[in-house]
Amino acid sequence: MKVAILGGTGSFGRGVAVRLAAAGVDDVVIGSRDAERAQAIAAEIGGRVSGATNDDAVRGADIAVLAVKADAALDTARDIAGALGVVPLFSVASALSFSKDGVRSDPDARAIAERIQDLVQAPVVAGLHTIAAANLEEAAPQEDALICGDDLEAKTLAIEISSRIVAGAALDAGPLASARALEGLTAVIVNVNKRYKAHAGVRITGVHHE
């Protein structure tokens, strides 16, 4: 399976690449605006991880994780739409605003993931918002991953790769509109992290899945 990680030079994308490579995904490609930067990070991770420009990374991929910084998610989706074609695009972005009295989620009623779907022909899925990059480096975190999307095939693939990233469950959280809540939940988790000096995650109780 080929997984492209756009903006995989950043802390979150890099963590995702480390976990996927450790879980045996045979073709993980770090994407960047600068191919050399992507190749340098890929070399640091080692194994069969490679690096390329974002455009080259998505070509021929089974799924592309959009892990550029959240402010750049919409512009990057627009830029790579042509190269992406119908390759499923996995948004992990949450827009947050920081102030002295806490972190707030994006006041826009529609999720970033829904706005990305307006820009690309490919099916957009969203998830992994609540997993801190710092929790990905050493081992798969004991957390659940919540994944949403309107395209069942794309969502199934995103759940499949997410199950290799977390040690908890990768769960179907419904249609792409659920990204409004999942992106908003990031602000809640970041506030908890600040208050308790933690890298908190999410566990869903009462679900039995295979």
Ligand X SMILES: NC(=O)c1ccc[n+]([C@@H]2O[C@H](COP(=O)([O-])OP(=O)(O)OC[C@H]3O[C@@H](n4cnc5c(N)ncnc54)[C@H](OP(=O)(O)O)[C@@H]3O)[C@@H](O)[C@H]2O)c1
Using CB under 6 A, list all residues that contact ligand X: 7, 9-13, 32-34, 37, 67-70, 72-73, 76, 92-94, 128-129, 131-133
Q: By C-beta, is 25 or 116 nearer to ligand X?
A: 116
User: Whole-number minimum distance, CB 185 to ligand X, in Å?
Assistant: 11
**Taking Cα atoms as reference points, which of 166, 101, 156 lies closest to residue 129?**
166
Cα separation, 106 vs 198, in Å, equals: 23
Q: By C-beta, is 178 or 208 nearer to ligand X?
A: 178
Q: By C-beta, is 9 or 117 nearer to ligand X?
A: 9
**Taking Cα atoms as reference points, which of 26, 88, 31, 28 lies closest to residue 62?**
88
User: Whole-number minimum distance, CB 47 to ligand X, in Å?
Assistant: 20
Question: How far, in Å, are 41, 106, 130, 169 from residue 179 at the CA level?
Answer: 29, 12, 12, 18
User: Whole-number minimum distance, CB 208 to ligand X, in Å?
Assistant: 26
Q: Which two tokens stand for residue 93?
A: 């972005």
User: Whole-number minimum distance, CB 87 to ligand X, in Å?
Assistant: 18
Q: By C-beta, is 75 or 153 nearer to ligand X?
A: 75
User: Whole-number minimum distance, CB 134 to ligand X, in Å?
Assistant: 7
Q: By C-beta, is 22 or 72 nearer to ligand X?
A: 72
Q: Do 158 and 185 touch, CB atoms closer than 8 A?
A: no
